Structure 1
Amino acid sequence: MKQTVPGISRRLLLCGASGAALAVHRAATAQGAWPQRPIRLVIPFAVGGGTDIVARMIGQTLSQQLGQPVVIDNRPGASTLIGTEIVARARPDGYTLLLAGSTSYSVNPALRAERAYRPSRDLTPIAIVARVPLVLVAGSGTPWRSLPELIDAAKARPGRIRYATFGNASGSHLTGELFALAAGIRLQDIEYRGSSQALVAVIGGEVDLGIDTVASVAPYVRSGRLRALGIVGAARSGLLPGVRTLAEQGLPDASFDAWYGFAAPPRTPAPVLAALTRAIVETVASPALQAQLRAQGIEPTMVGAAAFMAQIEKEIPRYRALAHRAGIVAAE
């Protein structure tokens, strides 16, 4: 469903007689020429992962739309809390933005009640711009060549088969436990600092399994360094068309919706948000960018602010309930 974020009209900005309206007008005047300098796009993952791939592709086209460089700033760690909190605390002037996925917007608020921010209070969600399926993969040195073989082995050795996560209570951790619950097995999660490190660990045999985006794992699956056992999502991927979804393999409850969205710090002026939203809409509509994203197994989309918040509000209670069932406790 395509949506855009409505901006504040010029008439509304100019007509208010109250002090609040005057303050908005002054902010609009001050920001009228935005952007005047490079924009920092914070990515709460290390270089090379799925989020980083999406950010660099979109950032290049966005910089052309805005007429200013979009500088990628990778800030991995603490299950994306480090990078996300940088943006939440940044000056609300439109020059520091966040591009992250559901780990930042839904999983952390669901699982980290004491420390986590609330997206509706501590961020300004702008738009969801891409969706991508996750893939359950095994290292080439493991004996399992199919999902049933893995499940049988896990039932025979409860808690002995290890899978890599991007951190305790991260999206990959939650997805792994979702799969385990649906399959009736127990797995051992091993924490790494981001997608790249986790994939290296699976490829190198430090752990048995990994869960990552199709964009990240497809080259290694094609080269034989990883085996794809199932798509963790509603549909197959064009990059790995022969890999069935977990639902097709008898696990309809093992589904995790992976997406990427832009957000700004709270209290970012409405005129800046409107200009930024227009630029993002034009960026995602670019045929060249869409082709580039789809070549990586990433589906471009445009979901505006209201539907973005509705997605977050739907996911948070689901993930909180799942964490309770799986016994996941986030370290504060």
Structure 2
Amino acid sequence: MKRLVRSLVQASVVAGTLVSALAVAAPFPDKPVRIIVPYLAGGSTDMVTRVVGDQLSLLWKQPVVVDNRSGAAGMVGTSVAANSQADGYTLLVGSVGEFAINPALYKKIAYNAETDFSPVSLIARVPNVLVISPVFAERTRIQTLADLVAYAKAHPKSVNMASAGAGTSTHLVGELFQRMTKVEMSHIPYKGSSAALADLLGGSVDVMFDNLPSSLAFIRSGKLKALAVTTAVRSPALPDVPTIAAAAGLPDYDAGPWFGVLAPSKTPDSVTKKINEDLVRVLQLPVVQAKMREVGAEPSPTTRTEFAEILKRDRVKWGDIVKASGATVD
């Protein structure tokens, strides 16, 4: 009897070991993957993520669910991702805001931008675009960037500058613009680009340095007027719109945000390597490149090491900009 019990126990242990081994060996992914976007649906981060997520779902043959967790300049969703299980099934699409600007701007944040995440791959670069409310443009007769600068200098703090939230790229590129042109505008933060754009279209606010993908359709339809883009070169999506560097005579002005995929820091190396390889593959698809460029984004796949270097470099760059602006948020 004892021998029988011992045999049954041994068989149970072996079976359990085999099950565990099979579970470990299961190819990634074998269930739905969640990608957290720390902003509202409809904004640039969300749009770019959904283009990539749709193709990853086809490649992986598993649902890829975009989970919008907005609030606190992207910090709410970023914190959720940082505290998620590190198995590759929860990812984050982060931006320069959460990983380079917020650490310098906020006295306290609920995640560590340097240690809580493993960089997987950059997915896109986008310019910001300075757009003006049609109501404000008609009232002030502003048609060019030079007109705006002249008006803002003549009417300090009377121009309302909307942003997707304090500390986002849509805020800080505007702060950089003000510092370099020596104008003063009143910052009006929103909880995402969609809400800010709604008020911009309605005339409740005057201007916005929005990420191009979320403003492009309104620019093309004539509902918003683009005065300039924030990158050093013109955007292929808006070839007739000048750069701020050229239009304002500021050769050193260059502020182009990016979006990238990150995983919780303890995610297995084999999993982040697999996700990186699949992201690079997806971002090279003609359909993805066409959809990205259609909304004003440039597909920008990287290695994990390259993305880590971008994060490190931009923490210094944007930290210096925040410090020079004197902006802080409690």
Equivalent residues of 2:101, 2:318 under 8 A apart: yes
Residue type at the aligned position of 2:166: N
Matching of residue 166 in structure 1 with residue 164 in structure 2: yes
Alignment partner, residue 76 of structure 1: 70
Partner amino acid for 2:258? W
Q: CA deviation at 1:111?
A: 1.9
Equivalent position SS for 1:276 = helix
Whichever residue aligns with residue 154 of structure 2, its letter is A
Q: Which residue of 1 aligns with 2:329?
A: 330
What is the TM-score of this pair, normalised by structure 2? Answer: 0.89
Cα distance in 1 for partners of 2:175, 2:110 equals 21
Instruction: State the distance in 2 between where 1:327 and 1:279 align.
Output: 41
Runs of 4+ residues over 4 Å off in structure 1: 26-29
User: Which residue does 1:316 correspond to in 2?
Assistant: 315
- Does 2:37 match 1:38? no
- Paired with 2:178 and 2:110, the residues of 1 have a C-alpha distance of 26
Evaluate the alpha carbon distance shift between residue 175 and residue 116 of structure 1 in structure 2; reply closer, same or farther with a 3 A threshold: farther
Deviation at 1:40, TM superposition (A): 0.4
The residue number in structure 1 matching 2:217 is 219
Letter in 1 for 2:159: I
- Residue number in structure 1 paired with 2:123: 129
Distance 1:192 1:66 in 2: 36
What is the Cα deviation at residue 50 of structure 1?
0.8
> Counterpart in 2 of 1:57?
51
Give the letter for the 1:243 counterpart. Answer: V
Identify the range of structure 1 (246-255 vs 276-285) with the bigger mean alpha-carbon deviation.
246-255
Alpha-carbon distance in 2 for matches of 1:76, 1:132: 20
Match of 2:105 in 1: 111
Which residue pairs with 1:178 in the alignment?
A: 176
- Preserved CA contact (<8 Å) 1:40 1:97: yes
TM-aligned CA distance change 1:137 to 1:31, over 3 Å = farther
Structure 1 residues 170, 214: closer, same or farther in 2, change over 3 A?
closer
Q: Deviations over 1:198-251 (max 9, x none)?
A: 111111111100111222112211222211110011221122111000111112
Q: Give the 5 Å matches for 1:251-266.
A: 251-266=250-265
Aligned partner of 1:47 in structure 2 is 41
Q: Give 1:266 deviation, angstroms.
A: 1.2
Q: Which moved more, 1:201-210 or 1:29-38?
A: 29-38
In structure 2, C-alpha distance between the alignment counterparts of 1:215 and 1:327, rounded to whole Å: 29
The 8 Å contact of residues 107 and 328 in structure 2, kept in 1 or not, is answered as no
* 1:111-138 CA distance string (max 9 Å, x none): 2243253333111111101111110010
Q: Deviations over 1:7-26 (max 9, x none)?
A: xxxxxxxxxxxxxxxxxxx8
Distance across 2 between alignment mates of 1:217 and 1:28 = 48
2:303 pairs with 1:304: yes
Paired position in structure 1 for 2:89: 95
Give the residue type in structure 1 aligned to 2:62: Q
Gaps of 5+ in 1: 1-25
1:209-248 superposed matches below 5 A: 209-248=207-246
What is the letter of the counterpart of residue 100 of structure 1? G
1:244 & 1:323 partners in 2: Cα distance?
A: 25
Q: CA deviation at 1:62?
A: 1.0
CA-based RMSD of the aligned residues comes to 1.6
**Offset at 1:83?**
0.6
Q: Name the amino acid aligned to 1:184.
A: K
- 2:270 and 2:26 map into 1 onto residues whose CA distance is 8
TM-score after normalising by structure 1:
0.88
Q: Can you list the C-alpha shifts for 1:138-184, whole angstroms capped at 9, x where unaligned?
A: 00012211001100111111111111112222221111100111111
8 Å CA contact 1:111–1:319 kept in 2: the answer is no
The alignment covers a number of residue pairs equal to: 306
Q: What displacement does 1:321 show?
A: 2.1
Mapped contact 1:77–1:193 kept (Cα < 8 A)? yes
**Structure 2 equivalent of residue 13 of structure 1:** none
Amino acid at match of 1:193: K
